[in-house]
């Protein structure tokens, strides 16, 4: 027997020999002794690598394309169509693309890559992932789940609205094309509320939502919207009931169909009169806007939400990948597909809005031309003011601008009394709106002027349904995956129960005042909580788990070392950007009065109203409830009041954690068993060099240490319950030649067994 074996050491000393954790964990799973250096007939010195089995019972994507489409469907949503174009127009047109692209590189791609990598590495949902990285911060996964719940409640209501408009589109003319006529006996008059606003605005607020004038007046349930919400939840439930087995197939259509519609709308829009004016207005850069902090804050927020960071859906989808999938390529690809989609949607929106602005401007010219004719006939204005080449029967915008300028100059003192509008195309283009106002008012009004308008309306709202469905599938996966990973419940039954509960909770949003609650949840339930969740994700990986250790994990997974760019982004740049974003968000919430835009029936206009005290308390309760798991889990685990949840992990998860410490065996055995420092005993060459950060930097963490922090150490030590080792047949006696064999052929000391 070798002099330095454990048995020899025990025979010559009475001191207690400390077993390494690697020794204890090595008995958890049967080893392949035929291929190990424990077998004299095997290959000496060959290292045992425990890989998680490919077929470990966890579902997997049928193909890489299915997975990419799922990530694209989740990240590309309604915000790309009705939020990005508005921000681009508001914040300097083409100049807005510069801060957006810069922040996409600094925040978007690195953090998206981080979420993809941790999900693929640990093969668990958000709760399991952050329990593994740091149990004290395990509340990150619970907060993500709660935010997904809040967002899913109101997001599916928007899908319900789209479903209602989709079925209403199978009519000619479209029901929102003209104002309804009110008949009083033989007298027929246009509905006053519609006449004061517009046909599409009236249809949205009165016939679709039938909204009340204040959030305090619930008005009872809106039956049409309740049925639409029920249909929306049935569709979502059918899509996610079997996990990725069903949602993956749905993504083939729901992710690709919106691009077909967007390209069709782009071709049709470019053929419309005034489309070029809209696109030119969109991309005319206002460079001075780039100096405003507000522009950068809104660009960062849009990047943040466009990729779905912090929701847990990204992590859940990537957890069904193979361990060696190239998630770096996926992160870059999906991020730039998202950016490309936003640009494509912006082109479509402003081509159509340019057409609408030209129609509105021509209507303005005709109405004001009739006013001028009336003033000429009543001798309020002199005919000498009208240029001789002007023909009022075919009054152009250029001729009207000339007449308007002359009258304004001559009648300077009494010009206001004439009530003439300037009818400037730029003013119409600046009236573009966002959110529901863009989709259900502005865009629908433009489509009423299309030839075959019902066809385009059906296509548009079917596209919105699919965009929303892709995001809802990701949101629901962010809820179901971590729960199913943590608790062994029936997948189909749990999914159905979630959808039923969500439908009844969603009745809050289908009251007549439900639109105001949608605005409340959109403003308060996700913004600040998700930003805090993502910065804690970044800090837990980069500063607690260790950026160098994480980069080494990525090298083991991907087969190549990621660029040092990601090291600096995760370690320094992204956390700083997120801290600035959180600070700006809190300041914005503090200085902006909390309120909502209420539709006032008597005025047929929207008016800003402050939230009543109970609604204000509800707003801040959404923020507190979403972030409450963070301190609760931290305190409970700090004082050992709560398990870290690792007893719920599967065998493959434990094996993957054993692989994480496989590189530690050589050095730890020399230190713990032989009682020598690592430098005194030569260790076998590791399979891959530990990543020590970018060249020229001093190592901040010891890559050979078992645990850089208490979080990581606690995670995998508690993950495996001690079990008796399997019965082993004693190895054949070693020949004396082993005491004098060359070091290259001797068995590794880390694999020596006690007889």
- How many helices (H) and strands (E) the chain has is answered by 34, 4
Tell me the pLDDT band of 632, cut-offs 50, 70 and 90.
Answer: very high
* 412, 440: one domain: no
DSSP-derived secondary structure for 463-480:
HHHHHHHHHHHHHHHHHH
Distance of CA 350 to the CA centre of its chain: 25
* Residue 204 in tokens: 């949205």
Radius of gyration of the chain (CA): 33
Residue 747 lies in a domain: no
Residue 33 in this model has a pLDDT that exceeds 50: no
Q: Which residue has the higher pLDDT, 233 or 433?
A: 233
* 330, 398: one domain: no
Give me the pLDDT at residue 719, please.
Answer: 38
Q: Of the ranges 86-95, 440-449, 469-478, which is most confident?
A: 469-478
* Side-chain-facing half-sphere of 385: CA atoms under 13 Å: 19
Average pLDDT over residues 236-250: 85
* 532, 570: one domain: yes
Least confident of 147-156, 332-341, 488-497, 744-753: 744-753
Least confident of 42-46, 290-294, 374-378: 42-46
Give me the pLDDT at residue 51, please.
Answer: 42
Nearest CA to 448 out of 232, 165, 713 is that of 165
Residue 664 in this model has a pLDDT that exceeds 60: no
Last residue of a domain, one of 430, 458, 482: 430
Give me the pLDDT at residue 652, please.
Answer: 39
Q: Of the ranges 184-193, 397-406, 621-630, which is most confident?
A: 621-630
Residue 278 lies in a domain: yes
Question: What does the alpha-carbon distance between residue 346 and residue 351 come to, in Å, rounded to a whole number?
Answer: 8
* 390, 284: one domain: no
Q: Which residues are annotated as a binding site?
A: 73, 76, 80, 338, 467, 471
Residue 154 in this model has a pLDDT that exceeds 70: yes
Question: What does the alpha-carbon distance between residue 115 and residue 137 come to, in Å, rounded to a whole number?
Answer: 16
Residue 448 in this model has a pLDDT that exceeds 80: yes
Residue 464 in this model has a pLDDT that exceeds 90: yes
* Residue 134 in tokens: 């740091």
338: Cβ contacts below 8 Å, ≥ 6 apart: 72, 75, 76, 80, 306, 307
Last residue of a domain, one of 409, 430, 451: 430
409: Cβ contacts below 8 Å, ≥ 6 apart: none
Nearest CA to 479 out of 247, 303, 642 is that of 247
Question: What does the alpha-carbon distance between residue 247 and residue 495 come to, in Å, rounded to a whole number?
Answer: 12
Question: What does the alpha-carbon distance between residue 519 and residue 499 come to, in Å, rounded to a whole number?
Answer: 22
Least confident of 221-235, 267-281, 380-394, 559-573: 380-394
Tell me the pLDDT band of 150, cut-offs 50, 70 and 90.
Answer: very high
Q: Which residue has the higher pLDDT, 459 or 673?
A: 459
By the 8 A CB rule, do 355 and 278 touch?
A: yes
By the 8 A CB rule, do 125 and 115 touch?
A: no
pLDDT tens track for 709-739: 445 444 333 333 444 445 444 444 443 333 4
Tell me the pLDDT band of 36, cut-offs 50, 70 and 90.
Answer: very low
Nearest CA to 652 out of 49, 56, 59 is that of 56
Q: Where are the beta strands (DSSP E) in 293-389?
A: none
Question: What does the alpha-carbon distance between residue 289 and residue 88 come to, in Å, rounded to a whole number?
Answer: 11
By the 8 A CB rule, do 159 and 496 touch?
A: no
Residue 367 in this model has a pLDDT that exceeds 90: no
Give me the pLDDT at residue 644, please.
Answer: 66
Question: What does the alpha-carbon distance between residue 269 and residue 352 come to, in Å, rounded to a whole number?
Answer: 6
* 77, 167: one domain: yes
* 559, 595: one domain: yes
Q: What is the percentage of the chain residues whose pLDDT exceeds 70?
A: 77
Residue 354 lies in a domain: yes
Q: How many domains does the chain have?
A: 2
The residue range of the domain holding 396 is: 360-430
Give me the pLDDT at residue 747, please.
Answer: 40
Question: What does the alpha-carbon distance between residue 586 and residue 623 come to, in Å, rounded to a whole number?
Answer: 12
pLDDT tens track for 278-333: 888 888 888 888 888 888 888 888 898 889 898 988 999 999 988 889 999 999 99
* 379, 332: one domain: no
* 545, 643: one domain: yes
Q: What is the percentage of the chain residues whose pLDDT exceeds 90?
A: 33
Residue 111 lies in a domain: yes
Q: Which residues are annotated as a binding site for Na(+)?
A: 73, 76, 80, 338, 467, 471
Residue 85 lies in a domain: yes
> Residue 129, SS3?
helix
pLDDT averaged over every residue in the chain: 78
Average pLDDT over residues 447-457: 89
Q: Of the ranges 430-439, 546-555, 584-593, which is most confident?
A: 546-555
* DSSP-derived secondary structure letter, 424: -
* 638, 502: one domain: yes
By the 8 A CB rule, do 229 and 503 touch?
A: yes
Give me the pLDDT at residue 679, please.
Answer: 42
On the question of a cis peptide bond just before residue 580, with omega within 30 degrees of 0, the verdict is no
Average pLDDT over residues 402-409: 84
Residue 742 lies in a domain: no
Give me the pLDDT at residue 647, please.
Answer: 47
Tell me the pLDDT band of 673, cut-offs 50, 70 and 90.
Answer: very low
Q: Which residue has the higher pLDDT, 160 or 173?
A: 160
Q: Is the dihedral of CA 475, 477, 482, 483 positive or negative?
A: positive
What is the b/e burial string over 216-239, where b = at least 16 CB atoms within 10 angstroms of the residue's CB? eeeeeebebbbebbeebbebbbeb
Q: What is the 3-state secondary structure (H, E, C) of 672-692?
A: HCCCCCHHHCCCCCCCCCCCC
* Residue 643 in tokens: 């398990």
Instruction: Say how many residues make up the chain.
Output: 755
Q: Which residue has the higher pLDDT, 429 or 468?
A: 468
* Side-chain-facing half-sphere of 311: CA atoms under 13 Å: 31
- With residues binned 3-state (H G I as helix, E B as strand, rest as coil), the percentages for the chain, rounded to 5, are 65, 5, 30
Question: What does the alpha-carbon distance between residue 345 and residue 439 come to, in Å, rounded to a whole number?
Answer: 12
Give me the pLDDT at residue 432, please.
Answer: 65
pLDDT tens track for 690-709: 444 454 444 444 433 333 34
Question: What does the alpha-carbon distance between residue 305 and residue 230 come to, in Å, rounded to a whole number?
Answer: 26
* Residue 96 in tokens: 């807005």
400: Cβ contacts below 8 Å, ≥ 6 apart: 365, 368, 369, 423
Question: The CATH number of the domain where 230 resides is what?
Answer: 1.20.1740.10
pLDDT tens track for 54-113: 445 678 888 899 999 999 999 898 888 888 888 888 887 788 888 999 999 999 999 999
* 339, 407: one domain: no
Last residue of a domain, one of 625, 653, 681: 653
By the 8 A CB rule, do 303 and 103 touch?
A: yes
* DSSP-derived secondary structure letter, 526: S
Nearest CA to 561 out of 571, 553, 572, 569 is that of 553
Give me the pLDDT at residue 635, please.
Answer: 93
Question: What does the alpha-carbon distance between residue 299 and residue 282 come to, in Å, rounded to a whole number?
Answer: 16
By the 8 A CB rule, do 137 and 536 touch?
A: yes
Least confident of 30-44, 76-90, 156-170, 293-307: 30-44
Residue 196 lies in a domain: yes
* 135, 186: one domain: yes
Question: What does the alpha-carbon distance between residue 80 and residue 89 come to, in Å, rounded to a whole number?
Answer: 14
Residue 371 in this model has a pLDDT that exceeds 50: yes
* 458, 392: one domain: no
Q: Which residue has the higher pLDDT, 668 or 337?
A: 337
Question: What does the alpha-carbon distance between residue 432 and residue 88 come to, in Å, rounded to a whole number?
Answer: 11
pTM summary value = 0.77
Q: What is the 3-state secondary structure (H, E, C) of 553-597?
A: HHHHHHCCCCCHHHHHHHHHHHHHHHHHHHHHHHHHHHHCCCEEE
In this structure, what is the dihedral angle of CA atoms 107, 113, 115, 116, given to the nearest 10 degrees? 160
Residue 161 lies in a domain: yes
- Tokens 């007549």 belong to 512
Give me the pLDDT at residue 711, please.
Answer: 53
Q: Which helix (H) or strand (E) holds 371?
A: helix 327-377
Tell me the pLDDT band of 160, cut-offs 50, 70 and 90.
Answer: very high
Tell me the pLDDT band of 662, cut-offs 50, 70 and 90.
Answer: very low
């Amino acid at each position: 027997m070798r002099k330095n074996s454990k048995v020899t050491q025990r025979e010559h000393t009475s001191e207690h020999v400390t077993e390494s954790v690697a020794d204890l964990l090595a008995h958890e799973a049967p080893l392949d002794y035929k291929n190990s250096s424990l077998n004299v007939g095997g290959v000496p010195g060959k290292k045992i690598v425990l890989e998680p089995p490919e077929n470990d019972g966890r579902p997997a994507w049928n193909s890489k394309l299915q997975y990419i489409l799922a990530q694209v469907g989740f990240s590309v949503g309604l915000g790309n169509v009705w939020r990005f174009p508005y921000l681009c127009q508001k914040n300097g047109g083409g100049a807005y693309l510069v801060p957006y692209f810069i922040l996409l590189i600094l925040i978007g791609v690195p953090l998206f890559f981080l979420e993809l990598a941790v999900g693929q590495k640990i093969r668990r949902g958000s709760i399991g992932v952050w329990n593994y990285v740091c149990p004290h911060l395990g509340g990150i996964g619970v907060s993500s789940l709660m935010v997904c719940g809040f967002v899913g409640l109101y997001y599916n209501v928007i899908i319900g609205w789209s479903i209602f408009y989709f079925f209403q589109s199978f009519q000619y003319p479209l029901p929102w094309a003209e104002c309804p006529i009110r008949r009083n006996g033989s007298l027929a008059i246009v509905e006053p509320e519609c006449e004061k606003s517009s046909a599409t605005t009236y249809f949205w607020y009165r016939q679709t939502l039938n909204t009340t004038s204040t959030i305090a007046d619930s008005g009872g349930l809106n039956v049409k919207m309740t049925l639409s919400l029920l249909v929306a939840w049935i569709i979502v439930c059918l899509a996610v009931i079997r996990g990725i087995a069903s949602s993956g197939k749905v993504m083939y259509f729901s992710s690709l169909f919106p691009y077909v519609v967007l390209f069709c709308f782009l071709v049709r829009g470019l053929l419309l009169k005034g489309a070029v004016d809209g696109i030119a207005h969109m991309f005319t850069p206002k460079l001075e806007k780039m100096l405003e902090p507000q522009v950068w804050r809104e660009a960062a927020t849009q990047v943040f939400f466009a990729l779905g960071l912090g929701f847990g859906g990204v992590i859940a989808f990537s957890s069904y990948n193979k361990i060696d999938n190239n998630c770096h390529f996926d992160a870059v690809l999906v991020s730039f597909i998202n950016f490309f989609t936003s640009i494509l949607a912006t082109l479509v929106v402003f081509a159509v809005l340019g057409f609408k602005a030209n129609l509105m401007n021509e209507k303005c010219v005709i109405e004001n031309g009739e006013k001028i004719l009336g003033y000429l006939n009543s001798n309020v204005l002199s005919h000498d003011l009208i240029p001789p080449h002007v023909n009022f029967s075919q009054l152009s915008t250029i001729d009207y601008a000339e007449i308007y300028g002359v009258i304004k100059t001559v009648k300077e003192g009494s010009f206001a009394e004439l009530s003439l509008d300037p009818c400037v195309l730029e003013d119409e283009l600046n009236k573009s709106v966002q959110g529901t106002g863009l989709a259900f008012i502005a865009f629908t009004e433009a489509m009423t002027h299309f030839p075959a308008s019902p066809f385009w309306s059906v296509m548009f709202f079917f596209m919105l349904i699919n965009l929303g469905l892709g995001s809802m599938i990701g949101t629901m996966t962010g809820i179901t995956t971590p729960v199913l990973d943590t608790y062994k419940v029936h997948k189909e039954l749990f999914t159905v129960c979630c959808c039923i509960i969500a439908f009844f909770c969603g009745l809050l949003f289908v009251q007549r005042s439900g639109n105001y609650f949608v605005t409340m949840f959109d403003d308060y339930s996700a913004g600040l909580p998700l930003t805090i969740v993502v910065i804690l994700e970044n800090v837990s990986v980069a500063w607690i788990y260790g950026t160098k250790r994480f980069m080494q994990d990525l090298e083991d997974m991907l087969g190549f070392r990621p660029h040092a760019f990601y090291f600096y982004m995760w370690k320094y740049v992204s956390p700083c950007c997120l801290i600035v974003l959180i600070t700006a968000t809190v300041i914005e919430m503090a200085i902006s009065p909390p309120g909502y835009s209420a539709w006032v029936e008597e005025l047929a206009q929207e008016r800003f109203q402050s939230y009543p005290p109970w609604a204000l308390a509800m707003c801040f309760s959404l923020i507190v409830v979403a972030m409450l798991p963070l301190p609760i889990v931290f305190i409970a685990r700090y004082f050992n009041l709560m398990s870290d949840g690792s007893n719920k992990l599967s065998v493959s998860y434990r094996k993957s954690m054993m692989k994480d410490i496989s590189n530690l065996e050589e050095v730890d055995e020399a230190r713990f068993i032989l009682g020598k420092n690592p430098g005194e005993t030569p260790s076998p060459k590791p399979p891959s060099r530990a990543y020590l950060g970018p060249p020229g930097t001093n190592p901040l963490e010891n890559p050979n240490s078992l645990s850089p922090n208490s979080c990581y150490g606690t995670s995998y030590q508690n993950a495996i319950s001690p079990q008796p080792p399997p019965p082993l047949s004693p190895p054949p006696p070693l020949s004396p030649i082993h005491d004098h064999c060359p070091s290259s052929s001797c068995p590794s000391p880390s694999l020596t067994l006690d007889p």
